[in-house]
């Protein structure tokens, strides 16, 4: 059993160095990748702004006073 564990450990440690040495040195991104990241950032930004406005209006509704006049159908139902 110890021999099996030692051989597996040696295999894992040896494989780590071979995966680390890739040889391909590409440091720049493709223009399509940059465009995709920019487009994704725009989507997130444009969805974040309405979300913030909605959250702020919900907080404002929670902390605003409840002394509002009831009008419409509910007011007629309460008079009966």
Note the pLDDT tens digit of each residue in 20-52. Answer: 655 555 668 888 999 999 999 999 999 998 999
- The DSSP call for residue 72 is T
pLDDT band at residue 75 using 50, 70 and 90 as cut-offs? low
Q: Rounded CA gap, 37 and 43, in Å? A: 10
Tell whether 52 is covered by a domain. Answer: yes
Tell whether 49 is covered by a domain. Answer: yes
Domain span including residue 48: 34-65
Tell whether 43 is covered by a domain. Answer: yes
Total structural domains within the chain: 1
Tell whether 40 is covered by a domain. Answer: yes
Provide the strand spans (E) within the chain: none
> Which tokens sit at 17?
């160095």
The predicted model scores a pTM of: 0.40
Q: Which residue has the higher pLDDT, 65 or 38?
A: 38
Tell whether 72 is covered by a domain. Answer: no
- The DSSP call for residue 35 is H
Tell whether 60 is covered by a domain. Answer: yes
Q: In the chain, what percentage of residues exceed pLDDT 90?
A: 31
């Amino acid at each position: 059993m110890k021999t099996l564990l030692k051989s597996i450990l040696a295999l894992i440690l040896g494989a780590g160095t071979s995966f680390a040495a890739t040889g391909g040195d590409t440091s720049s991104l493709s223009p399509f990748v940059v465009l995709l990241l920019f487009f994704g950032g725009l989507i997130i930004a444009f969805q974040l702004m309405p979300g913030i406005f909605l959250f702020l209006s919900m907080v404002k509704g929670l902390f605003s006073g409840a002394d509002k006049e009831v009008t419409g159908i509910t007011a007629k139902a309460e008079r009966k």
